Amino acid sequence: MTQPTPEIQQRVQQLRQQVQQASYAYYVLDAPIMEDTVYDRLYRELQQLETDYPQLITPDSPTQRVGEKPATQFTSVRHNIPLYSLENAFNTEELKAWDGRWKKVLKAEEKEINSTEPLYVCELKIDGSALALTYENGILVRGATRGDGVTGEEITQNVKTIRSIPLKLNIENPPSVVEVRGEAFLSLNIFDKINQERQQKGESLFANPRNAAAGTLRQLDSRIVQSRQLDFFAYTLHLPGEETELKTQWDCLEFLQEMGFKVNPNRLECTSLTEVQNYFESWDSRRKNLPYMTDGVVVKINPLQLQNQLGFTQKFPRWAIALKYPAEEAPTTVKAVTVQVGRTGALTPVAELEPLQLAGTTVQRASLHNSDRVAELDLHIGDTVIVRKAGEIIPEVVRNLPELRPKTAQPFKMPNHCPECGQPVFRPLNEAVTRCINTSCPAILRGSLIHWCSRDALDINGVGEKLVYQFVERELVHSVADLYELTVEKLTQLERMGEKSATKIVNAINESKTQPWARVLYGLGIRHVGSVNAELLTQKFPTVEQLMSATPAEIEGVYGIGSEIAFSVEEWFKVPANRTLIERLKQQGLNLESQPSKPESSSDKQELTLSGKTFVITGTLPSLKRDEAKKLIQNAGGKVTGSVSKKTDYLVVGEDAGSKLTKAEELGIKQLSEAELLQLLNPS
């Protein structure tokens, strides 16, 4: 047997202490000190070390018991049937390993599997708080928390406030005793409302709906519980000493519905592990549109006879497993902090991280936004932090865990000089962003060029980030106007640039001159002017001269344009260097005015079916690109804006919709799928 080193022994002791403290804070004090993902990481590390070195296992290790003691504010009750936790699988390989284990148990006992009926049931794993409900002769007599799985807390009065839990079973001849298990949870809109109220009162906010549900159930005043509108999904039942005709888990779910319980409708019987995997994958994106939180799928063996034969390990049922989705929030360590300079001169601190898997991708860097955010996080190099993907795209640090900070950790401070050009940086009043104000800064120039060449701006094919870096390093380009003075001879001086490639790039740059005025305006990179706003502005001001001479009040009068954008546009055109740039672009033949549209004949004029309607598009549509959908709406007389407001008539929703969907739901704005949008465009 391999002997553990002193360092490994010390690490095991440290992990035990951290896990024990976190368990006590969560189960006893009801004051979590650690994210679930952090706890899982530490627990699994301890579990692995004890597997590698079994001589280190002790009776008091957190891995050797089901859970912690319940808090003492409520009466402790012993569960007639233990509430076991579920084993977790974090990928399909671990799911297959579980499948092999339970089949091996049956084979060892020479039990046969009936393949003529669905073998598995898949149910969404609701992120809430487990409850055990006892009914005698159809009447609710006890509601209890899970506690440590063996002993919980009796909270019947609080349970009775949950309207989706029946006080009396809705069947004529109820069992003499039935125990129902399920999950109490908060819907996302109720959770947001509770946190808004707590913020107004100056109270600490709940970290997530699960913590809020658990905290609500343990309120001593049941009136508070009632006000928070908890919901409940039932997922299993036990009939102690009763004969039953129920043969499968699916039968149990159907019977729960008969008795008057809410059962999650998004469940499925599966005949193979492949069907289980398909179900799991199908909900990976769709779950984001659910009104409640779910972080995985619970897979159960369907036949109850097999469940009984398989039984339990010391901690888990052998016949069920929770297949978890990749974490959208996860812990990691900050190795360093670098500072990036953007095209507007903004200095953005970026955390360099120990690589982690997040929402299905490997993340090594995450935004820290600005110096205020760094100070708020109290960030030190070496800290353990929680990272998530903002809008499921850009990784950002959302929380710091200073209780895990090593003694050698050093605080990070924003630099006083630009890391690109070495010039002093400046932080404007009333702004959180520190900026480099040196217009000759290479970082600002690179950012401007990359933005100008991007797909939504001038869409110059072949000119990407690497080539832009060479333009700036070789001093071939000092502004976007210089791009149009590049020649094949100049480009062939660059690394790995042949005459053929250089010719293609020069042609692509020249072709960009045909891009419309709206794209040119967006490409100029004026602060707060996005592609949608640029389209709105050029519709109102069809020439650059009209926009340059417009007052802020006139600009703000454009539907969808606010005072911040109006001020930014006016200030940009006041700068002499920017006016010089406009003159150079005009001389080089770019479109700085809208082309008059050809009059349409009555035969080909499209009916303006969406006249007066305002749309917002969010997510990825099944077949249409966002620009294509936008053009279809505009051709039919509708307007497309970039943000949801009370003036929005429709939200067109695609896959992986973000915060716009949440706001639209709050405002009660009608949602359309791509198919419904096309139906609206072509009602015949």
Q: Using the 8-state DSSP alphabet, how is residue 620 labeled?
A: B
Q: Using the 8-state DSSP alphabet, how is residue 74 labeled?
A: S
| Helix, strand or coil, per DSSP, at residue 169 | coil
Q: Please say whether the beta carbons of 616 and 640 come within 8 A.
A: yes
SS3 annotation, 544-575 = HHHHHHCCHHHHHCCCCCCHHHHHHHHHHHHC
Q: Please say whether the beta carbons of 564 and 528 come within 8 A.
A: yes
Q: Please say whether the beta carbons of 141 and 177 come within 8 A.
A: no
Residue 495 dihedral angles phi and psi, to the nearest 5°: -65, 130
Tokens, residue 531:
């592609």
Q: Please say whether the beta carbons of 170 and 178 come within 8 A.
A: no
Residue 491 dihedral angles phi and psi, to the nearest 5°: -70, -35
Which positions are catalytic?
125
Q: Please say whether the beta carbons of 323 and 379 come within 8 A.
A: no
Query: Strands 320-324, 88-89: parallel, antiparallel or unpaired by DSSP?
Result: parallel
Q: Using the 8-state DSSP alphabet, how is residue 161 labeled?
A: T
Residues 6+ apart with CB under 8 A from 340: 347, 348, 350, 443
| Helix, strand or coil, per DSSP, at residue 609 | coil
Residue 540 dihedral angles phi and psi, to the nearest 5°: -80, -40
Q: Give residue 366's Cα distance to chain centre.
A: 14
| Helix, strand or coil, per DSSP, at residue 621 | coil
548, amino acid identity: M
Burial class (CB in 10 A: 0-12, 13-18, 19+), 267: middle
Neighbours of 551 (CB within 10 A): 10
Query: Strands 650-653, 670-672: parallel, antiparallel or unpaired by DSSP?
Result: parallel
Side by side, the strands of the sheet bearing 129-136 are 139-145, 129-136, 177-185, 231-238
Cα–Cα dist 214/74, whole Å: 14
H/E run at residue 194 = helix 188-200
Among residues 130, 123, 133, which one has the least CA distance to residue 264? Answer: 123
CA atoms within 13 A on the CB side of 543: 5
85, amino acid identity: S
